[in-house]
């Protein structure tokens, strides 16, 4: 039996559990992520672990890459079974304690300005209800026993993982790298899907820096939160970076024909109305922050204008 296994989520796409790493050590088992909450998802993970000879009762520590429901919703199940120690970054710890705070890092209210006809009141979207009712992947809260930050080391069995702070998708998102074994748990930064990003979570600037940080590591294997194990680092990272720049280029191309309303740009980037209020608005805002910093675009109220 290998001492590090990855249990894949049901599907690579939301709503589905994140992949979960299970590592053996002398005291039992350590998990990276707890997967989705809710009966269906949690039961699947628990029985899968049992069938693999990884009894959930033996889990003594759970490390979370960030406080999102598909990664930590399942923690309520494990807290009941084995009272594991919970480790998360110091930046995401408040959201783990109080998931209502996710409304801020998701920048949910930002969409109200551009899509007033949707009629969201001050509360905007009730994220926690959305996770529970629509996605079937409820969020759970947990009091972290330990918080970590960039450069900290976490020993997990034979593996000594270094913490990389990799924001973009969540302000305190962390990836884990064992430089000796040349393996990395990338979380949502690298994987089959490009994670959404919002200004308060680090935006596209944070995302690009995070990709660079992982790219600089000498790696043979990347374990992503969503999708298959990656052995071709450059290709996988290049693909994600390519998608981010594809969005940026689309904005610049649109602006070649003159100024555009923010909303027009959202609709161009995200033709599906389901994606416009979130995460379309937040992703576009992230790109405009980058482009404005680079003096390529500017804004007057909701009108986005090209520079030069």
Q: Which residues bind Zn ion (CB under 5 A)?
A: 68, 188
Q: Which residues pair with 159 in a beta bridge?
A: 156
Q: 226 or 287: whose CB is closer to Zn ion?
A: 226
Asked if residues 159 and 246 have their Cβ atoms less than 8 Å apart, the reply is: no
Tell me the closest approach of the beta carbon of residue 308 to Zn ion, in angstroms.
36
Nearest position to Zn ion, beta carbon? 68
Tell me the closest approach of the beta carbon of residue 77 to Zn ion, in angstroms.
19
Q: 124 or 191: whose CB is closer to Zn ion?
A: 191
Q: 114 or 131: whose CB is closer to Zn ion?
A: 131
Q: Which helix (H) or strand (E) holds 87?
A: strand 85-89
| Cα separation values, 113 from 110, 158, 208, 273, Å | 6, 51, 27, 16
Q: Is 111 exposed, middle or buried (0-12, 13-18, 19+ CB in 10 A)?
A: buried
Q: 66 or 260: whose CB is closer to Zn ion?
A: 66
Tell me the closest approach of the beta carbon of residue 66 to Zn ion, in angstroms.
6
Q: 243 or 253: whose CB is closer to Zn ion?
A: 243
Tell me the closest approach of the beta carbon of residue 135 to Zn ion, in angstroms.
12
Nearest to 208 by CA among 176, 255, 245, 178: 245
Tell me the closest approach of the beta carbon of residue 187 to Zn ion, in angstroms.
8
Q: Which residues pair with 283 in a beta bridge?
A: none
- Phi, psi angle pair for 220, to nearest 5°: -100, -25
Token pair recorded at residue 44: 């699947």
């Amino acid at each position: 039996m290998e001492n590090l296994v990855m249990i894949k989520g049901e599907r690579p796409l939301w709503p589905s559990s994140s992949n979960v790493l299970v590592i053996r050590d002398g005291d039992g088992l350590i998990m990276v992520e707890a997967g989705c909450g809710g009966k269906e998802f949690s039961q699947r993970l628990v029985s899968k672990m049992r069938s693999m000879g990884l009894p959930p009762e033996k889990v003594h520590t759970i490390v979370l890459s960030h406080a999102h429901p598909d990664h930590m919703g399942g923690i309520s199940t494990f807290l009941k079974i084995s009272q594991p120690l919970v480790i998360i970054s110091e930046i995401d710890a408040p959201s783990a304690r109080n998931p209502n705070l996710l409304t801020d890092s998701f920048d949910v209210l930002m969409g109200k300005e551009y899509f007033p006809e949707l009629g969201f009141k001050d509360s905007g979207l009730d994220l926690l209800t959305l996770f529970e009712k629509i996605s079937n992947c409820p969020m759970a809260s947990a009091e972290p026993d330990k918080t970590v930050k960039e450069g900290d080391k976490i020993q997990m069995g034979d593996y000594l993982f270094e913490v990389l702070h990799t924001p973009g998708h969540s302000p305190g998102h962390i990836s884990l790298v064992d430089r000796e074994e040349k393996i990395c748990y990338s979380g949502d930064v690298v994987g089959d899907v490009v994670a959404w990003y919002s200004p308060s979570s680090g935006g596209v600037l944070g995302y690009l820096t995070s990709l660079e940080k992982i790219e600089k590591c000498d790696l043979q294997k990347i374990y992503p939160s969503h999708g298959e194990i990656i052995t071709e680092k450059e290709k996988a990272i290049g693909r994600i970076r390519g998608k981010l720049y594809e969005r940026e280029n689309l904005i610049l191309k649109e602006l070649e024909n003159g100024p555009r309303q923010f909303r027009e740009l959202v609709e161009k980037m995200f033709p599906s109305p389901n994606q416009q209020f979130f995460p379309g608005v937040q992703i576009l805002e992230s790109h405009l922050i980058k482009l404005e910093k680079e003096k390529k675009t500017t804004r007057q109220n909701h009108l986005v204008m090209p520079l030069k």
